[in-house]
Structure 1
């Protein structure tokens, strides 16, 4: 299978490329010197989308986008976050729709931020329609709507991804230094739900949707057992044999991170109903099992 991947050098994309070693991969990237491409005979770096003949591509996986939690949000950063997702998605959809022989499947990223902040007593699946209207929802909604403009002769899967746990990057890598020192803390009141997924299950899920020709539409990419922030923090500390006695008040988070702090202060309990219903099996369905493997 010939597969075009955007965001292939990122945390999820790099592991996905390694797992898809039986296929011919074309990775759209500005960094053609990335270590991902050294010694990988099945991966070809592509600098410009115009260099790709979409009539010769079997599948497109779109994971590109400016990291949402790397910098404090201001209007300029928000615009960069939006355009880094919408621009490439629009270009991919246009190329796919103008094909004589289009790719059979288009898998495109999104996030559980689509649902916005929700009650810690609520469990959400893909049918949930009462999203809280804030920046994360507006971003994901625009991103998904662009992907869904793909013509009907190409199967579309949208990945509403939760907190991806990996020791090589993302949220867990940022948390580890303080928790290893025994100064990890619960955020705000700790009741906000955290919907997470082990990176191995994330990559396995993408490949499952790639190969399962009957799967289409929205998929929550989260483990089936969301936990609140208090439980997450205590479980992480226990795995490291360290205490977790501190608490970071919401007002301090807002002072440090501004509006972006809302991603940590508020949450949503997300359940992968459609992925499970399609027959997918998680290798790491519980947080203790996931952290034990990673740490």
Structure 2
């Protein structure tokens, strides 16, 4: 009996260890795959984009550790925030200052990369962790074969953003946030492989992207933070063009006080027509919409699992 119990315990421990060493991944190998992943079909797999990399207890925002923690629970893309250091390196940091998310003080741009690498990151509760500030290059290298990074617009010049994507041949797993058709055209004219998270909050904005000849195959549309009925015609017009739509819950529904209330809000977003949710509460939001994932979808081929060390 003791031997059986011991064997069972060892097997259980091995299975647990195996589960902990497995992450959800997006099987996207090329820019063409990425465009296919974001093409609206009407039978898509709803999923989560982690705002600032996902904001979960013990795992600081904009950290590789936060990305990996989210992927242990759910497939996801990640919206991240590149900022320039004093010596023109690019690190991940939402705020222009260091106090809220690190053990440092002052402006990010007043420190060299080497100086910033001496600091520790804080989690959502302000607790200091053992994690360090990552560079954008570190994140890009880590993300390949695992997920998609969406670069928000902070203080990094467009030229530097375009250059780092080209340097790493990262068009398959790095997207750029653009706030207007003019910004999208700047990137598209220089690198027609780049895919965008584009602000398309109105019919007028839709028409501006169309007039600028930005291919709809290269756009995933951010339609705003509110799940409002007025979005229905915009969803229809974007879906007709093969475009997925996203709502960001970070400034709205993520802040609701109750877990059940938040879960209902996340589900309603997908039920009303959005294809994905950008959430601070990446794991919680993914759990809430899991029941809405269809049993069959042409997008299943993009979702998989991978063992990590």
Do the two structures share a fold, i.e. TM-score over 0.5?
no
TM-score, length-normalised on structure 2? 0.30
Q: Which has the larger radius of gyration?
A: 2
TM-score, length-normalised on structure 1? 0.31
With a CA cutoff of 8 Å and minimum separation of 6, indicate the structure with the bigger relative contact order. Answer: 2
